[in-house]
Amino acid sequence: MVIQNFPKLGSAMSIQINIKNRKARALVDEIVQRTGETVTEAVTAALQKRLLELTREERLARVREISEECAVLWLEPWKSMDHGDILFDELGMPK
């Protein structure tokens, strides 16, 4: 599979991607057949989706790091308290 991105105006570079993998080609062909996209559109969409997933994974990892750093700062009685006890009364109504 050869994918070409033609240069933008004023650019002397052209980017080519040559993927020699039967499974990758079969996946692209199936997406193209189902969606009516071009090969370039299908590959671009797949790459954008993967990049978004990586960005989310990186953000989630950072949130986990912050959570671990903050967990050691919790003191009793807050550390072992059920959060519902803080937010709701005996009847389950917000405090």
| Band (58; pLDDT cuts 50, 70, 90) | very high
Res 19: pLDDT: 85
Segments forming the whole domain that contains residue 55 = 2-69
Residue 79 located in a structural domain: no
Residue 8 located in a structural domain: yes
Average pLDDT over every residue of 65-87: 88
CB 28 within 8 A of CB 42: yes
Residue 51 located in a structural domain: yes
The CA distance from 39 to 19, in Å, is: 12
1-53 per-position pLDDT tens digit: 555 555 555 555 567 888 899 999 999 999 999 999 999 999 999 999 999 99
Average pLDDT over every residue of 74-79: 84
Residue 57 located in a structural domain: yes
- The count of domains in the chain is 1
Average pLDDT of every residue of the chain: 86
Residue 75 located in a structural domain: no
Residue 36 located in a structural domain: yes
Average pLDDT over every residue of 48-77: 94
- For residues 36 and 78, the model is more confident at 36
Cβ-proximal residues to 43 (8 Å cutoff; 6+ apart), any chain: 3, 17, 28
